[in-house]
Amino acid sequence: MGVSGKLKNRPPIKRMTKNFYLILFLFTSVLLLGFYFTSEIKDFLLAHLGHLGIMLVSGLLLVAPNKGKLPKKQSSSFMVDHIFGVITGTLGLLCLGNFIPVLATKLAGIEMSRFTKSAEFNRILIIVISISIFEEILFRRILAQKINNSLGFKKAIWISALIFGLVHIYSDTGILNASIAGGIFAYIYLKTNNIYLSISAHLSYNLTTYFLTPVFIKNFDGINKYSIIVSFIITGVILIFGMTRILNKKANG
C-alpha cells in the first residue's frame, strides 16, 4: 500500500486529534505573544483593555471551526450543595495560592517580605471583576469544554489548567498558582456544566485576595513560619479534596 493509501485509511479521529492539538498550540501562542506585549504597556487601564482584546481574538480562534458557535455542552445543573462545593474549593485555593509561593521562596532562601511589603496595591476593582468573567468564558466555557468534548474530562482539566498557568507567566499570579486555580475552576465548571458557578468561584477568589492582600502584607512577618505555612497548605489540599467529593457526589447522584 502506498503512502497516499495509508493517509486515506488513517482513522479520521487521529487526524482530528492532531488538528485539535494544533489549534490549542496556536491558541496558546496567540495568548502568550499578546500578553507579552500588553505586559510592556505602562498604562494600567490600557494594558487591561489590550488584555481583554487578546482574549477575544484567541477565543474567536477556538470557535472559528464551529462557525463561531460555542462548544456544545450538557444542560447546566444547580443544587444547593454546589454552593458548598464552590466555597470549599475557593477556600482551599486561597490557602494554596497564598502560601505555596511563600513556602517556595522560603525553601529557596529568598527574603520575600521585602518584596511583598513594597508591592503597590493598585488594582482597580472593576478590572478584577471583568478579568474574572472574561477568563471563565474563555478558559472554561470555551477551552475546557472544547477539550472535554474532544479528549475527555481528565485531559480537559489538566490541559486547560496548564494553558491557563502558562499564559499567566507575565503576571504576578505566576504559572503554578494559575495552573492550580485553572484546574479547580475547570473542575467546578465541567462537573456542574454551570459557567456561573465557576465565575462565582473565580470572582470570590479574586475579590477575597484583593481585600485580604493588605492584611496579608501587614502580618507577613508573623505568618512567615514553616509551621503556619505548611498548616495552611495541608488545609488547602483537604478543602480541595472535599470540593471534589461534594461535586462528584452530586454529579453521580
d(Cα 73, Cα 147) in Å, to the nearest integer?
11
Nearest to 28 by CA among 164, 187, 199: 164
Query: Which residue reads 482539566 in cell numbers?
Result: 157
| Mean residue pLDDT across the chain | 85
DSSP assigned state of 10: S
Cell of 138: 474563555
Share of the chain above pLDDT 70, in %: 86
d(Cα 174, Cα 157) in Å, to the nearest integer?
18
- pLDDT per residue as tens digits for the range 33-78: 999 999 898 888 888 899 999 999 999 999 988 877 888 888 877 7
Q: Is the pLDDT reported for residue 27 higher than 50?
A: yes
Q: To 10 degrees, what angle do helices 175-192 and 80-107 make?
A: 170
Query: Which residue reads 505566576 in cell numbers?
Result: 174
Residue type, 6: K
CA atoms within 13 Å, Cβ hemisphere of 16: 9
d(Cα 50, Cα 41) in Å, to the nearest integer?
9
Which pLDDT band, with edges at 50, 70 and 90, does 145 fall under?
very high
**Between residues 249 and 203, the one the model is more confident about:** 203
Distances from the Cα of 225 to the Cα of 102, 109, 232, angstroms = 9, 13, 11
Q: Is the pLDDT reported for residue 117 higher than 60?
A: no
